[in-house]
A and B are shown apart, each in its own frame.
Chain A
Amino acid sequence: MRVPQSWLSEFVDVKLAPEALADRLELTGTAVAAVHRTGETLDKVVVGRIVDKSPHPQADKLWVTLVDVGGTEPIQIVCGAQNFEVSDLVPVALPGAVLPAGMKIKRAKLRGVESAGMNCSAAELGLGSDQDGLLVLPNDAPVGLSFSEYQGLSDITLELEITPNRADCMSMIGVAREVAAVTGVQFNSPTYSLLDEGPSIEDAVDLTVADPSLCPRYAARLVYGVKIGPSPKWLADRLIAVGARPVNNVVDITNYVMFEMGQPLHAFDLATLRGDDGKAQIIVRRATDGELLRTLDGVERHLDSQMLVIADAGQAIALAGVMGGAFTEVSETTVDVLLEAAVFDKDSVSRTSRSLGLLSEASSRFERGVDPTGCVAALDRAASLLQEICGGVVAGGVIDSSPTPPTIRRLELRPKRLCEIVGEEIVIGDMINILEALGLNVEVAQDVLGVDIPPFRPDLEREIDLVEEVLRIWGMDRVTPTLPSGTGRSGGLTRAQSDRERIGATLRAAGLTETMTYIFAEGRDMAIPGCNSVPEDEWVRLMNPMSEEQASLRRHMFPGLLRSVSFNQNRGVPGVHLYEIGTVFSTAVGRQLPREHSMIAGVLNGRWMPKSWHDARVRSSSPKSKPGSSARVDDVLDFFDGKGVIETLLLDLGIETATFTASHYAWLQPGRSAQVITGSDVLGWLGEVHPEVLALYECEGPVVAFELSLDLLLTNAVSVKQYRDVPRFPPVQLDIALIVDNTVAASSVEMAIRESAGRDLHIIELFDVYTGEGVDAGKKSLAYSLTYRSKDRTLTDDEVKAQHERMLRKVEAKVGARLRG
């Protein structure tokens, strides 16, 4: 809502400087988006007349204009606006001009055509918010005159952000009342008089309100014999200042009264209204499904039965509360004007304007709610302006579907309760002063104030609304801050919450960086083998996605992480190690809310660290790349790096029984994928992503990915770990290499060793896996370092030897392992 100070001051004598007024409004609940100053910085902007207009040879939407700016020759200006014709008068910024937004005007070539200035819109001159077209000036504007001189005195306009509850502040009068209340000055209520001496309106117009629930009040006046033309300058200027574009004197007057009083008005050309018996018919009814209406903006609208329309005897002529129709529009040939002032249901207007994508000044007022007692006053004001400006004769009387007298409601405010809610001793006198300044009458009784609510404040419905009014004007800044004094509470995280943070900390210590991805699944995520077979019913579908590409919620987190891998690879990042703790979704027929599962997912790709001068040293001192072994190439992260991260996590959570078993997941590379299991719980999976899936995401492999169920990790986590004796007796260490078939899993060899050795076998460490020269084809050599140690004494070599040999025999029997010679 734009409020020019010159207009505001008709109703309230503001004594504060604009910035001080803006501050005061901010602190009492009316946000001020900007304070605009106009008419001060418009050097080198003059009135010009368009004398020629031709399409730009190189650009579809541009015009090449010749503009007379009072010099000897017209100047050539390239212009992108579409709302002007030859002979129109417009403001022209000449080279050297600096516009209020800071734009400097220079001679330039636009797509190869010389342009010696700019034809301006109202917004470009800081005069309003209309930026869609040129500011076309009244026909009497003198060509060549400085625009500031033409425009008149400078003005200051406050741009206010009115909250949805303050319907009353959508007008100059409403804002003036608010300004008076918050600055403690007098509000000057305007009075208007009207002579309506023409023939009675009853003889010319019939009104039927078919749906009073959506139209509680419909009133109209008729003005005969108006002369259509441009508005006088003062009227046009004010409309421009509040961001509207002047059209003609009749339409401008209806808009003017709306901005001034908050009541939207509409003007129909009486001659276009069909009826019978020589009387025009106005019918307020719901549209029929599929009914068509061409609105003032020239767009053909398809209506439905949820929408309220104004119709004549034939068809819909206006979309109630939203926009008028083109057919009954006031035009140059209009003689008699029917003025409408109505109240429409706010929810209905809101639904209609949103479903058609049509937000208008009128709809934004109806949406908040319009004072039902203000219709006739607005009609009177508009009719008297029509009389004065357009020379019309006002028909006698008003037609009115609901000529109800203003209803004053009474609310009760308990001063003690107010102080209890605010937490501050506000004296009753202050409360009364504030409420009365807002235009509410207050009656003082014992322990309670009776407050009369006028119809222009429909938002005041309950005691709490009055508490808010008093607090915001008394001043939130005056409230002394305290802290809640209540006892019986203790802060903290639940165990699951703190374990979750701990899991994040462990993953970070293991080298993974936390990330955040969208919960929306893209089309290609759903095309991944293994995801593409999920039945349609099990996907959580959005009904109004931003794009068809993001119409479902994810069932897995790794696709989003693969996108990040690709993002990083495209930018040459040498290592990607990311984790996310997030949610995946699934559903089923019959479910209302889907299942939500908390997951931990990660990806590893590339190297842990950038290449370093240490790498060569490390490699030369430990020659690992034996032929045929699985030693990594160039330190590229692989399956075992992922597994190591998960092992570290399980260790920290005290989940000692978890195992990794070779497992098939369609999106993982066969032979490099595993399931993580503890007891009967499948904690999740881990593996190198299938090269075909990587290709979908344009990733270079190998990429290790994992997903673990957070809930299952939390339920299996051991919160209190058991103390175990720290070893006190010396160890005996033996290294062995066992030859087994390639198909024998390392875990089963280790299990065989552990089961076969006595209780003195303390630690088993696998330190080498070898295939190749010296080992038969189809076999592998596993080298273990075994630590024997007794809990209660020093072992002798002979004892260990005996145990060790017994163990080897058993292991041979169990897994076919033979000692490598």
Chain B
Amino acid sequence: MNLIEELQQIHEQAISAVSAATDAGELEEVRLRYLGKKGSLTQILRGLGSLSAEEKPLVGSAANEVRVGIETALDEKTRAISSEALRLQMMQDSVDVTLPGRRRPLGRQHLIERITREVVEIFVGLGYRVAEGPQVELAYYNFTALNTPQAHPARSPSDTFYVRDQSVETGLKSHDSEVLLRTHTSPVQVRVMESSKPPIYILAPGKVYRRDIPDPSHLPQFTQVEGLVVDEGITFADLKGTLEHFCHEMFGSDRKTRFRPHFFPFTEPSAEVDVSCGICAGSGCRFCGNTGWLEILGCGMIDPNVFEYVGIDSERYGGFAFGMGVERIAALKYDLPDLRMLVEGDMRFLAQF
């Protein structure tokens, strides 16, 4: 058998040995057997030197071809084996993707705060700033400067919390105190009008207090957002446009609004604003008490008496104010059965929003 034939035989044996190998170890054995230092192909290549000048190149190139062929087969088989091993490993590593993930604790924003932020953002977009004021207020800012008569029921100790005034000697009866828990955020408006010049475009969100026993629809402490605009040439039409814009942003552009004339001591003309019921689209249902409308806001043009208290010329400047109860909006938007849930801190409730 000549060397060429021997080479052919080695090639065939090597190829079949490669394909018979089942793991990396066997494959390495095959490599050593043919290509290793003592491998059969190596032996032949070592013997090249003893060949004739004619045979040498022929056998040399044939041997090289065989070597390349075996190496290629080995490489392919190596890849095949490792990819098979990887496949098996991955099969072992597979998981039940329906098992729960490793969750991070995530806190939620309180519903009332969230709605308040929504309202604030809408008005910031219209060029408003946010104003704040004390929660314990003087009767002057909470009532008097807002044109509320001395005998107005809202001032009575059955409606308003009065606070001990430590700047005076006595004050045994609550209606003698000039200090109270603010009953709305309107005193912030008075303070702003007192301390700054028009144009004024502000929003005053905050906690307010009224002497109501907590029940499903009342809390003694709740949240209001009030707005105030004072500028030249402000009209009732501006008030209407502003609040229609707000209602569309807040409740959806398909909702209609309705202005009903009303009475408030600090605005005139005054109105209450209804938005069409989102459940029945205005045709009447249990949710809206069959009226098709939900009352959302109180509003009006600043009463000239209020301007007089804060020293703004009501002939030159006009203005409007509006206010809404955030708890009420929450109750309407989410159909809450009981407002007291808002102050209990129940994780199962708070985590819903």
Enumerate chain A interface residues (CB-CB to B < 8 A): 26-29, 31, 163-166, 346-347, 350-351, 354, 367, 420-424, 462, 464-465, 467-468, 471-472, 476-477, 479-486, 488-494, 497, 501, 504, 507-520, 537, 540-546, 553, 561, 563-565, 567-568, 571, 573, 575-579, 583, 585, 587-594, 596, 608-609, 612-614
Name the CB-closest residue of B to A592. B167
Provide the residues of chain B in CB contact with A544, threshold 8 Å.
157-158, 161-162, 174, 211
Apart from A350-B151, A545-B161, A587-B166, what are 19 other A-B pairs with CB-CB below 8 Å?
Answer: A31-B260, A165-B263, A354-B158, A420-B235, A423-B236, A464-B268, A472-B261, A497-B130, A512-B107, A513-B110, A515-B110, A520-B220, A543-B171, A543-B174, A564-B344, A567-B345, A579-B107, A588-B166, A612-B103
Cα A363 to Cα B242 with chains together (Å): 39
Residues in chain B near residue A351, CB distance under 8 A: 151
Docked CA distance A85–B199 (Å): 70
Looking at B4-12, B37-45, B80-88, B131-139, the stretch in contact with chain A turns out to be B131-139
Q: Which of B172-195 contact A (CB under 8 A)?
A: 173-174, 177-179, 181
Q: For A517, list chain B residues within 8 Å (CB).
A: 343, 345
Candidates A29, A479, A491, A492; contact of B236 at CB < 8 Å: A479
One of B104, B110, B124, B270 near A511 (C-beta < 8 A): B104
- Asked whether, in the complex, the Cβ of A483 is within 8 Å of the Cβ of B229, the reply is no
- What would be 5 A-B contacts, judged by CB atoms less than 8 Å apart? A422-B235, A471-B269, A497-B130, A543-B171, A596-B136
Q: How many Å from the CB of A402 to the closest CB on chain B? A: 22
Distance in Å: Cβ of A511 to nearest Cβ of chain B: 3
> Complex Cα distance A542/B177, Å?
10
| B contact residues around A579 at 8 Å (CB) | 107
Which chain B residues border A347 with CB–CB below 8 Å?
Answer: 149-151
Residues in B whose Cβ lies below 8 Å from that of A519: 135, 207, 209, 221
Chain B 248-270 per-residue mask, 1 if CB under 8 angstroms from chain A, else 0: 00000000001111110000111
B161 and A589 form a contact (CB under 8 A): no
Residues of A contacting B166 with CB < 8 Å? 537, 587-592
Q: Is B165 an interface residue (CB 8 A)?
A: yes
Measured in the bound complex, the distance between the Cα atoms of B129 and A520 in whole Å is 30
- Chain A residue, CB-CB nearest to B113: A514
Asked if B342 and A592 make an inter-chain contact with CB atoms under 8 angstroms apart, the answer reads: no
CA distance A484 to B238 in the complex (A): 5
Point out the residues of chain B lying under 8 angstroms from A591, CB to CB: 166-167
Contacts of A465 in B (CB 8 A): 268
CB-CB under 8 A from A564, the residues of chain B are 344-346
Give A507 to B151 CA distance when docked, in angstroms: 46
Size category, B interface: 35 or more
Known A-B contacts A567-B344, A578-B345, A591-B167; the reply to A483 vs B242 at CB < 8 A is yes
A548 to chain B, nearest CB (A): 14
Question: Could you tell me if A596 and B135 are in contact, using CB atoms closer than 8 angstroms?
Answer: yes
Contacts of B216 in A (CB 8 A): none
Sort A-B residue pairs by CB-CB distance and give the 10 closest, nearest first. Answer: A423-B235, A564-B345, A423-B237, A511-B105, A29-B261, A481-B241, A347-B151, A508-B107, A163-B263, A472-B261
Contacts of A612 in B (CB 8 A): 100, 102-103
Rounded to whole angstroms, the CA-CA distance of A563 and B346 in the bound complex is: 10
Do B261 and A482 touch (CB < 8 A)?
A: no
User: In angstroms, how far is the closest chain B Cβ from the Cβ of A436?
Assistant: 19
Question: In the bound complex, do residue A518 and residue B163 qualify as a contact, i.e. CB atoms below 8 Å apart?
Answer: no
Binding site for A on B (CB under 8 A): 99-100, 102-110, 112-113, 117, 120, 123-130, 134-138, 149-151, 153, 156-158, 161-168, 171, 173-174, 177-179, 181, 199, 201, 207, 209, 211, 213, 220-221, 229, 231-238, 240-242, 244-245, 258-263, 268-271, 301, 303-304, 318, 342-348, 350-351
Residue of B with least CB distance to A489: B127
Checking A482, A504, A545, A567 against B237 with a beta-carbon cut-off of 8 angstroms, the contacting residue is: A482
Contacts A164-B263, A477-B259, A509-B106; A486 near B163 (Cβ below 8 A): no
**Do residues B304 and A464 form an inter-chain contact, with CB atoms below 8 A?**
yes
**CA distance in complex: A747, B22 (Å):** 59
Docked-complex contact A483 and B345, CB < 8 angstroms: no
The reply to whether A518 and B221 contact each other, CB–CB distance below 8 Å, is yes
Q: How far is the CA of A579 from the CA of B104 in the complex (A)?
A: 17
Cα distance A239–B134 when bound, in Å? 49
What residues of A have a CB within 8 angstroms of the CB of B109 in the complex? 504, 508, 514
Contacts of B213 in A (CB 8 A): 546
Q: A351-B151, A422-B237 given as contacts; is B105 within 8 A of A563 (CB)?
A: no
A421 and B318 form a contact (CB under 8 A): yes
Q: Which of B110, B120, B199, B303 makes the CB contact (< 8 A) with A489?
A: B199
CB closest residue in chain B, given A519: B221
Q: Are A488 and B260 in contact (CB under 8 A)?
A: no
**Does A486 lie within 8 Å of B199, measured CB to CB?**
yes
- A818 CB to closest chain B CB, in angstroms? 40
Q: Is there an interface contact between B108 and A514, defined as CB atoms closer than 8 Å?
A: yes
B232 adjacent to A592 (CB under 8 Å): no
Question: Residue on B with the closest CB to A29?
Answer: B261
Distance, CA A590 to CA B167, complexed state (A)? 4
Q: Are A540 and B343 in contact (CB under 8 A)?
A: no
Chain A residues, Cβ within 8 Å of B350: 513-515, 578
Q: Considering the complex, give the chain B residue whose CB is closest to the CB of A583.
A: B135
Q: Which residue in B125, B261, B348 is a CB contact (below 8 Å) of A28?
A: B261
Which residues on B sit within 8 Å (CB–CB) of A508? 106-109
Which residue from A163, A484, A567, A594 sits with its C-beta under 8 Å from B262?
A163
Report whether A594 and B163 are in contact in the complex, using a CB–CB cutoff of 8 Å: yes
In the complex where A29-B261, A515-B110, A612-B100 touch, is A592 in contact with B221 (Cβ < 8 A)? no
User: Measured between alpha carbons, how far is A307 from B271 in the docked complex, in Å?
Assistant: 35
Question: What CA separation (Å) do A27 and B268 show in the bound complex?
Answer: 16
Q: A504-B109, A568-B346 are in contact. Are A543 and B157 (CB under 8 A)?
A: yes
Q: How far is the CA of A502 from the CA of B132 in the complex (A)?
A: 18
Whether A514 touches B110, Cβ cut-off 8 Å, given contacts A31-B260, A577-B105, is yes
Question: Is B269 a contact of A472 with CB atoms below 8 Å?
Answer: yes
A523 smallest CB distance to B (angstroms): 17
Roughly how many angstroms separate A593 CA and B128 CA in the complex, as a whole number? Answer: 28
Collect the chain A residues with CB atoms within 8 Å of residue B220's CB: 518, 520, 546
CB–CB A492/B233 < 8 A: no
Docked-complex contact A476 and B107, CB < 8 angstroms: no
B177–A543 touching, CB < 8 Å: yes
Q: How far is the CB of A687 from chain B (nearest CB, A)?
A: 20
Q: What residue in chain A is nearest B157 (Cβ atoms)?
A: A544
B277 smallest CB distance to A (angstroms): 15
Determine if B271 and A464 form an interchain contact, defined as CB atoms under 8 angstroms apart. no
- Give every chain B residue within 8 A of A486 (Cβ-Cβ): 199, 231-234
Give the chain B neighbours of A590 by CB distance below 8 A: 166-167
Q: Are A491 and B123 in contact, with the CB atoms below 8 A?
A: yes
Q: How far apart are the CA atoms of A573 and B347 in the complex, in Å?
A: 7
Pair A467/B269 contact, Cβ less than 8 Å: yes
The verdict on A540 contacting B237 (CB below 8 Å), with A491-B123, A519-B207 known, is no
Closest chain-A Cβ to B235's Cβ sits at a distance in Å of 3
Contacts of A472 in B (CB 8 A): 261, 269
Report Cα–Cα, A811/B153, bound state, in Å: 73
B126 vs chain A, min Cβ distance (A): 6
User: Closest A-chain residue to B177, C-beta based?
Assistant: A543
Bound CA span A600–B349, Å: 21
The answer for the CA separation of A591 and B168 in the assembled complex, in Å, is 9
Nearest to B211 among chain A residues (CB) is A546
Q: What's the Cα separation between A152 and B244 when bound, in Å?
A: 47
Within the complex, the shortest CB–CB distance from B352 to chain A, in Å, comes to 10
A468 touches B163 (CB 8 A): no
- A541 to B164 Cα, complex, angstroms: 6
Most buried by A among B112, B178, B181: B181
Q: Chain A contacts of B178 at CB under 8 A?
A: 592
Assess the B113–A504 pair: CB atoms within 8 A: yes
| Chain A residues near B343 (CB-CB < 8 A) | 516-518
List A contacts of B238 (CB < 8 A): 423, 482-484
- Determine the chain A residues whose CB is within 8 A of the CB of B245 once the complex forms: 483
Cβ of A589: which chain B residues have Cβ within 8 Å of it?
A: 166
A493-B173 Cα distance, complex, nearest whole Å: 41
Name the distance in Å between A126's Cβ and chain B's nearest Cβ.
Answer: 17
